[in-house]
Structure 1
Amino acid sequence: MTGVVNPALSAPALPDAAFEARLREVLRSRVEFIELIGDDLVAAGGKRVRPALTLLSAQALGAAPTGPRWSEVLDLSVCVELLHSASLLHDDLIDDAQTRRGHQAAFRRFGNVVSVMSGDFMLARLLTLLSGMPGGPALTRAFGETASVICEGEVLQFQVAAYAEYEQEHYLNVIHGKTAALTELAASSPATLLGAPDAQREALATFGREYGMAFQMQDDLLDLAGDEALIGKPVGGDLREGKATWPLLFLLNGPHADEVRAILERRAAQGGDVERVRALAEASGALEDTRAEIRRRARLAAQALDALPPTAARDALVALAEREIQRTR
């Protein structure tokens, strides 16, 4: 029949004005400072990668923006964004950050207590939303477990730097906690909401986990070897915090291990430290080794989606994973 568009092949829905409106509605509060932080969150926007994963995964499972369950899918994507945003409010305070998404960090504008409690307010709001959803208990457990992993990842990162425990296992656990646990939840939670088969839920969980690992590894690579004009900040931030990312771990297993360890332990405090490590990483093959691992993870993510039927939403998820191989900021 001509003139009819197959919904499975049409352009998939992404976070849009309806998402932003629902996010603003959920963040409503009678307390002005909480309202202002919520308004900043909506106005700042950002890439909305995590709620996009939720919306795309739901569509890959057959949900549609015109379907009867889309409001539940939209609320689930809002919950994912709230968990992410709450963690960012806490992270900015921990990291003593100046800005977030081009604006003054919330704790600098409103103070530590307001910022932390506003993050807790977001967590409370998402729990309220989850409680009313089909599969609420399972979803609440999944969000709670993910929040625990995020906390453990952040603390482990500081522990590794404090003890100089530069090991690949620690690094992988850290980036899983920092990033991949939440992308795994974002991608797999629609399967729980919609009652999809276990095989499809596992496929989306694998996609989200491997995509998140590739995403964070690319971020870490750019922090050492990126173009400052493109990434919008000075390179070498991880070195200055004593964080041994994948290319640093490569160097710590090579002939320059003692020199690199010394730079890590003094937090790149001497002039030329960052440039020296960057040069060593380039010459030794550490950067290419990191790029190879990013490609491997991105391909694992894409391959996991073979368990789902072909749709435009599945193609969009694959494209997200493949984009990490070439991302420059």
Structure 2
Amino acid sequence: MTRAALPDVPGLDLAGLGVPDAAFEAQMREVLASDVEFIALIGEDLVTAGGKRVRPLVTLLAAQVLGAVPGGAAWPDMLRLSVCVELLHSASLLHDDLIDDSDTRRGRETAFRRFGNVVSVMSGDFMLARLLGVLAGLPGHPALTRAFGQAASVICEGEVLQFQVASYADYSFANYFQVIHGKTAALLELAAHAPALLLGCRPEQCEALRTFGAEYGLAFQMQDDLLDLLGDEEKIGKPVGGDLREGKATYPTLLLLEGPHGPEVREILERRAAGAGDVERVTALARQEGADARTQAEIRRRAETAIGALEVFAPSPARAALGALARREIGRTH
């Protein structure tokens, strides 16, 4: 198994569990096979670049919580399902890199820098088309196809809403949570409950996994946003304040907008933190007004809600592993 690609999380014990491994990568290569060289190269980059494979890992762990066994009759379908989850994620990243004008992804030159905009966008669409073909061959595919389609639409809406909010300076907690649900939580929600759809599980089991994925995803993105404002630049590998410079109000900034310094913080957001010392001022205010601690408390609440949702299932190594993934968001530093 290619353990090196999997997340390094305190308390995460994957020994004896089915994870995205060599069989998963073989499935990826098979689905992404193309006679068009540029598409094939992008597909191979996707397989070999690895990444943490968190989303397909969640799918395979959820499958095992539901009783699927590596090597069992249902496992090949679970592997194919986890590949579909990763393909939806990868297609969105190809589009995101172009939107964000990113130079690198996982230490490599981004596809649109290497091949151009058209190739990158069409390769992402190719991945979406291929995953639909895989879904069509799985048991319970109508429900799965609806779930993937809904997740894809929510992802698109979240990305566009993020730009809309910044353009209109329409800052609110409702908009923020819709954005981060689309950016991150919708796909983890899909990753977690799709195995229940494939196996035809009871509604309460499906709903528990849906809740786990959604709340874990929200905690994950909120922690990323907090680190963007208050993280250690050496640990996170980028300058802090990126969201402020893009006019994006994240949870701690929204808390400040409600307080006595709200007008000042709004002015900084609206000028995209272009003034000298703007980022430093907002980070200082976040600490001074306790927005950092209140954000951390909300992240903890979301993570604990995710973990609590798993209590409908019997204790197992797979359930413990899912819980460890969510628990990591409490106090993550990079």
Q: TM-score range, shorter-chain basis?
A: over 0.9
Any idea what the Cα deviations from partners look like across 1:212-267, whole Å, max 9, x if unmatched? 00000000001001111111111111111000000000000011111110110010
The residue that corresponds to 2:299 in the other structure is 294
Which shows bigger deviation, 207-216 or 268-277? 268-277
The code of the aligned residue for 2:57 comes to A
Give the total of aligned pairs: 321
Q: Which runs of 5+ in 2 are unaligned?
A: 1-13
> In the alignment, which residue of structure 2 is the partner of 1:213?
218
Report what 1:83 is aligned to.
88
Structure 1 residue 101 displacement after superposition = 1.0
Equivalent position amino acid for 1:323 in 2: R
5 Å-filtered alignment, 1:250-265, equals 250-265=255-270
2:56 counterpart of 1:51:
yes
Q: CA offset at residue 10 of structure 1?
A: 6.5
CA shift, 1:11, in A, is: 3.1
Is 1:170 aligned to 2:182, yes or no? no
2:98 aligned with 1:98, yes or no? no
Offset from partner CA, 1:252-301 (integer Å, 9 cap, x none)? 00111111101100101112111111111011100111000000000000
Q: What's the offset of the Cα at 1:182?
A: 0.4
Q: Where do 1:186-201 residues align within 5 Å?
A: 186-201=191-206
Alignment partner, residue 8 of structure 2: none
- 1:65 maps onto 2:70 in alignment: yes
Q: Secondary structure of the residue that 1:62 maps to in structure 2?
A: coil
Aligned partners of 1:76 and 1:324: how far apart in 2? 25
Q: Which residue of 2 aligns with 1:109?
A: 114
Shift of 1:66: 1.7
Query: In structure 1, what is the equivalent of residue 11 of structure 2?
Result: none
Give 1:326 shift: 2.2
Does residue 180 in structure 1 map to residue 180 in structure 2?
no
Identity score, percent:
72
TM-score (norm 2): 0.95
Partner of 2:247: 242
Over the aligned positions, Cα root-mean-square deviation in angstroms equals 1.0
2:4 aligns with none
From 144, 152, 160, the equivalent of 2:165 is: 160
- Structure 1 residue 32 corresponds to structure 2 residue 37: yes
Aligned residue type for 2:231: G
Give the deviation of 1:196 after TM superposition: 1.1
| Conserved 8 A contact 2:296-2:331 | no
Secondary structure of 2:211's aligned partner: helix
Q: Is the 8 A contact 1:11 1:313 kept in 2?
A: no
TM-score by length of 1: 0.96
Cα distance in structure 2, aligned partners of 1:326 and 1:112 = 38
Gaps of 5+ in 1: 1-8
Q: Give the aligned residue type for 2:273.
A: A
Report the Cα distance in structure 2 between the residues aligned to 1:207 and 1:92, rounded to whole angstroms: 28
Look up the equivalent residue of 1:208 and give its one-letter code.
G
